[in-house]
Amino acid sequence: MRRRLVLALTLGLVPGAGSAVAGPVSEPAAWLSTYAWTEEDDRFGGMSAIEVDADGRGFVALSDRGSIVSGTLQRDAGGRISAVKMDRLEPLRGRDGAPLPRSRSDSEGLAIAPDGAIYVSFELAPRVLRYDRLFGAGNLLPIPRDFSRMQINGALEALAVAPDGALYTMPEVSIRNDLAFPVYRFRNGAWDQPFTLPSEGKFLPVGADFGPDGRLYVLERDFGVFGFSTRVRRFVVQGDTLGAGETVLQTRAGTHGDLEGISVWRDGAGQVRLTMIADNNFHSFLETQIVEYALQD
């Protein structure tokens, strides 16, 4: 969806991050903090995904221009993010170890498996690469026929690994006539499509993660004249069935920036946290925000 987003930004329809627009969110989520992350590196920006370690400090983030970042989230006594330390930023690499060409580097989704494998999904050329180690060479997973039917600017953004190691992804724009989003699963070396994500309103899926409770959390966004709106729904996945789902977070337009990536983890107090990251589209007037909420249930 990059072209539509850039058009909206160019026309001035989307306010910059840090605008004073605020609004209530649906329970059971409670806002904790919003941190504006900056770096003096021309490659920094366009953050589309994030994975946070179990301790809430170490993280890996992904840029939609084919870069991957490792770093540390520094926290105050209340557990809120007080600083971000970037340790390393490197280009994503193909099987030959060379950086991916620009035409095939629209990286959008990130997931880290229990065995440490790192998966990255791409939008403009829909596919998924597996990395056995961070900053290493990538290996292409099989590409199902459905991927070639996806909209050029609406393909694979959300990516998540289940506790059993199965990989799940879905297009940002549905290829189905009923507008439900087909969810694809990779396990035992092959893809299948066990269920669909129901569509509600104008929100589109841009990020996903399995939480410590074993449920699938899907980050969705909508945008319009007053900015970006964010919604998070969670679902129970049982075999080939997706449960009815529950909305745990929904913000008014303009509350945050273009949140595209989500990591779900449990803090030391036992609360489930949603750590989300905003894509600044490489515009100086937008912020790379890291936003956190805690679930109260």
- Per-residue pLDDT at 18 exceeds 70: no
Domain coordinates in residue numbering, the chain: 2-295
103 φ/ψ angles, rounded to the nearest 5 degrees: -70, -15
Per the DSSP assignment, residues forming a β-bridge with 272 are: 266
| Distance (Å, whole) CA 24 – CA 55 | 28
Report the pLDDT averaged over residues 119-128: 96
- Per-residue pLDDT at 69 exceeds 80: yes
Determine which of 120-129, 226-235, 277-286 has the lowest per-residue pLDDT on average.
277-286
- Per-residue pLDDT at 4 exceeds 80: no
Half-sphere exposure of 76 (CA within 13 A, CB side): 8
| Distance (Å, whole) CA 172 – CA 233 | 15
Residue 44 and residue 88 in contact, taking contact as beta carbons nearer than 8 Å: no
**Which pLDDT does position 13 carry in this prediction?**
39
**Which pLDDT does position 7 carry in this prediction?**
42
How many angstroms from the chain centroid is the CA of residue 87?
20
Report the pLDDT averaged over residues 176-197: 92
Residue with tokens 């998966």: 119
Instruction: Determine what percent of the chain is predicted with pLDDT higher than 70.
Output: 90
Report the pLDDT averaged over residues 203-212: 97
pLDDT band at 27 (very low <50, low <70, confident <90, very high): low
- The whole model's pTM is what? 0.91
**Which pLDDT does position 175 carry in this prediction?**
75
CB atoms inside a 10 Å sphere around CB 201: 10
- Per-residue pLDDT at 25 exceeds 80: no
Using DSSP's 3-state secondary structure scheme, residue 229 falls into strand
| Distance (Å, whole) CA 122 – CA 79 | 33
| Distance (Å, whole) CA 81 – CA 62 | 19
Report the pLDDT averaged over residues 7-18: 39
CB atoms inside a 10 Å sphere around CB 63: 24
Domain covering 2-295 in this structure, CATH number: 2.120.10
